[in-house]
A and B are shown apart, each in its own frame.
Chain A
Amino acid sequence: MTTATATHDDHHDHGPAKGLMRWITTTNHKDIGTLYLLFALIMFFIGGAMAMVIRAELFQPGMQIVDPQFFNSMTTVHALLMIFGAVMPAFTGLANWLIPMQIGAPDMALPRMNNFSFWILPFAFTLLLSTFFMSGGGPAGGWTLYPPLSLQMGDGFPFLIFAIHLAGISSIMGSINVIVTILNMRAPGMTLMKMPLFCWTWLITAYLLIATMPVLAGAVTMLLTDKFAGTSFFNAAGGGDPVMFQHIFWFFGHPEVYILILPAFGIISAIVPTFARKPLFGYSSMVYATASIAFLSFIVWAHHMFTVGMPVTGELFFMYATMMIAVPTGVKVFNWVSTMWKGSMTFETPMLFAVGFIMMFTIGGFSGLMLAIAPADFQYHDTYFVVAHFHYVLVTGAIYSIMAATYYWLPKWTGNMYDERLGKIHFWISTISVNLLFFPQHFLGLAGMPRRIPDYSVQFADWNMVSSIGGFIFGASQLLFAYNVYKTVKGGKKATDKVWEGADGLEWTLSSPPPYHSFTEAPVVK
């Protein structure tokens, strides 16, 4: 593999084909990355519209806009779309764009399967959304699909289950591709411990995905047969147990939340050094911290089930195991802060989002620690406190990292600079409104407001109104983001190859925009 040039198996030129078929038949990692990112953006807005419905209903106590069944389907599908349709595909899109460029490869290892992984998604989510038009409506039992409630869904039920299967197949294939690309396609000299952290965190994420998506597939298959084939997995009369579903689901579900955050750690670890103009502090400890988070994520699942009536040894085990995750997570936050320490910092939009991530993700981590205390969780469980927790880690965590990544690499992808002023405005409006939106939910939860209920008692009225106002502003300000991206794709100030003064890594040695096949000659990494 010393003198490598890309070869085609036919005489096509190296540019893309024309028209719609380019996108449908493409095997190019950049095209597929773009498709993933665009798809994620669309899902982000559909899921966001559902969140607006939720916040509109909760603006005031009492029932005003939607009926309870529809409200519940809004919370359910909002979560499913945001998790499986927005955040995961966005990270996969970033992986597609960046991993080959960062390890010095021409493309992903299995390009046709790459196309397949993407193109299942629009079908899967069409199926999911089509349930709204069936008798019985969309899924309304919560994204966690707990039986027996989830089994009471109408005609849409099997469509929901199969949509999850298809999305799972897509994730598994996408992950196989990421792992094989990283293990097999690195340029000479690019040892594992020289890889950018984004590749490392994705490698581990992909492992988590391959290990847990099939478990989710098993769980929803059991739901399907319980409903249609007369099995008794979750039926106590037949010797099964509905709580068993929760165990299987969360065996998937907790690693899943790390699937939603590990790539974000990789992104932040790329951006902070660039704008602090210092190498990342503690590279190898970052790798080991990521690996230990992944390992621990398999043995903490029942912290989502402290109140179902587990034996007390179980409660204790899962409580302590959960708290241990705070250690490697703390290592990461410490390293980011230390990277900034005495750096010559500037605060362009990607850096603003990265710093915002570090501060607000940490808030989510702290509320997570509070939830991890089993006896305290008896109070917090199923309240808005949990909602506040996971939105701090997911919105100001995962989503912020995706925004940071978009601003950071967009000039590389398009060759154009984005509008910096608009980017900063987007950041500040988002950050103020997102805290208006989610911080009061901590108070609501501690005061006892339950989640997933369309009405509430009047003492919760004030903070709910604040939260809804924050929500509307946050929702609207995301249009600025979409507009900024659109404008950058269309044109703008030309970006240099390096784009950022402090940027480091193979992707910055390529032109902006990079050639269609990233590295047709394998670069040599010293």
Chain B
Amino acid sequence: MAHTADHYYVPHGSHWPIIASIALTTGVVGAALWFNGHASGEMVLFIGLALVAFMMFGWFGTVINESLKGMYNEQVDRSFRQGMMWFIFSEVMFFAAFFGALFYARELAVPWLLGEGAKFATHDYLWPNFSEAWPTNGPGGVGGQFETVGAWGIPALNTLLLLTSGVTITLAHWALKAGDRTKTVLWLIATVALGAIFLGFQAYEYIHAYHELNLTLESGIYGSTFFMLTGFHGFHVTIGTAMLLVITIRAAKGHFTADNHFAFEGVAWYWHFVDVVWLGLFIFVYVL
């Protein structure tokens, strides 16, 4: 059967989606058991995650093979691109929920607890002595005294690292478009390295926060918003770095051409998204 570019493309049936569903379900059941303090939880969670990894290799592997065989036409390529953009949009909205929580807590909830505005009753009747504005762990002092991470140490350095990585991935892209594979791979390696260093710093900062600052996930609303925002961001950087690693290896193996490299661009967009979220974090979590 012919595979010319002006044909619609419909893939045949696939067992990967059902494996994906089973993998995800196993993972969340494991996590749920673990939360409930069930002995088997971690094991089930681990099996689930392993299945997810297996599924991703298998599913993406199939797609990559099909793409290399030239089965995809321009329309498929456009579908992938648009799909990726909408996926990133959904991720943006996920972060928006946590940023929303941060703004609400800082601008409304905590001032109300301090007795401002129309909602003074909670303050007057429950916690008349509460006077601690942001950063705060609330009138109950949940999690105990803590200190915050300063913006101009590691976080500023991390901002620099991520911004630089945004440049290096663009350089890699330009090199790819110019057909220079060596340069593409080198710039990609630089990007991966920057991502990895970022993660290392982030891990160091967390250890520092937990051990020296007594700033933990349980440090009231400050700790909650701080760790959930930076934590989910760090998780996304981890995924992004893994994806970068994959396309680096693919580029080194000779995948991608100057005008056909959806996976590369998808990862690059994702990386820029992670970058932009970090800028928001840097400003609203660390600086302000």
Contacts and interface: CB of A to CB of B under 8 A. Distances in A.
B108 A120 contact: no
B217 A225 contact: yes
Contacts of A176: 83, 86-87, 90
B220 interface: yes
B221 A25 contact: no
A8 B105 CA distance: 54
B103 to A, nearest CB: 10
Q: How large is the interface on B (under 10, 10 to 19, 20 to 34, 35 or more residues)?
A: 35 or more
A105 B110 CA distance: 53
A127 B28 contact: yes
Interface string A200-216: 00000000001111110
A25 B13 contact: yes
Contacts of A105: 8
Which interface residue of B29, B97, B109 has the most chain A CB atoms within 10 A?
Answer: B97
Interface stretch (A91-99, A231-239, A485-493): A231-239
Interface in B1-46: 1-4, 6-18, 20-22, 24-25, 28-29, 31-32, 35-36
B71 A110 contact: no
B186 to A, nearest CB: 33
Given A7-B2, A110-B83, A214-B97, A231 B217 contact: yes
B137 interface: yes
B228 A222 contact: yes
Contact of B10 (A106, A127, A165): A106
B218 interface: yes
B257 interface: no
Interface string B129-170: 000000011111011000000000000000000000000000
Which interface residue of A9, A115, A213, A311 has the most chain B CB atoms within 10 A?
Answer: A9
B139 A251 contact: no
Contacts of B7: 4-7
Which interface residue of B28, B89, B140 has the most chain A CB atoms within 10 A?
Answer: B28
Contacts of B15: 24-25
B113 interface: yes
B248 to A, nearest CB: 25
Interface stretch (A138-146, A155-163, A324-332): A155-163
Interface stretch (A240-248, A343-351, A418-426): A240-248
Given A22-B13, A248-B97, A311 B83 contact: no
Contacts of A231: 217-218, 223-224, 227-228
A8 B10 contact: yes
A3 interface: yes
Contacts of A172: 87, 90
Q: How large is the interface on A (under 10, 10 to 19, 20 to 34, 35 or more residues)?
A: 35 or more
Interface in A65-90: none
Interface of B is mostly: helix
Interface stretch (B74-82, B176-184, B194-202): B74-82
Which interface residue of B79, B91, B104, B119 has the most chain A CB atoms within 10 A?
Answer: B79
Contact of B90 (A27, A162, A210): A210
B118 A311 contact: yes
B138 A185 contact: no
A517 interface: yes
B265 to A, nearest CB: 16
A185 B3 CA distance: 18
A112 B126 CA distance: 55
Given A5-B7, A155-B36, A222-B228, A179 B138 contact: no
A2 interface: yes
A416 to B, nearest CB: 26
A2 B8 contact: no
A517 B217 contact: no
B138 A237 contact: yes
Contacts of B66: 9
A243 B6 CA distance: 55
Given A1-B75, A116-B21, A155-B36, A244 B105 contact: yes
B57 interface: no
Which interface residue of B7, B80, B117 has the most chain A CB atoms within 10 A?
Answer: B7
Contacts of B117: 311
A110 B228 CA distance: 32
B9 A7 contact: yes
A9 B224 contact: no
B96 interface: yes
A17 B91 CA distance: 36
A214 B277 CA distance: 15
Contact of B220 (A11, A27, A229, A232): A232
Nearest to A209: B90
B8 A238 contact: no
Contact of A115 (B14, B108, B221): B14
Nearest to B15: A25
A217 B94 contact: yes
Contacts of B113: 236, 239
A12 B12 CA distance: 8
B104 A520 contact: no
A110 B12 contact: no
23 contacts: A7-B8, A8-B11, A9-B11, A21-B13, A127-B29, A161-B32, A162-B31, A162-B32, A169-B24, A213-B93, A214-B90, A214-B91, A215-B94, A230-B217, A232-B142, A233-B105, A235-B142, A239-B105, A239-B113, A244-B101, A244-B105, A244-B108, A244-B109
Given A162-B32, A172-B90, A236-B109, 18 more contacts: A4-B7, A105-B8, A109-B83, A110-B83, A119-B18, A158-B36, A175-B86, A177-B83, A211-B93, A217-B94, A233-B221, A238-B140, A238-B224, A239-B139, A240-B221, A244-B104, A247-B104, A248-B97
Ranked nearest first, the 9 interchain pairs of A and B with the lowest CB-CB distance are A218-B97, A237-B140, A239-B138, A239-B221, A230-B218, A25-B13, A238-B142, A158-B32, A116-B17
Interface of B: 1-4, 6-18, 20-22, 24-25, 28-29, 31-32, 35-36, 59, 66, 69, 71, 75, 78-80, 82-83, 86-87, 89-91, 93-98, 100-101, 104-105, 108-110, 112-113, 117-119, 122, 126, 136-140, 142-143, 216-218, 220-225, 227-228
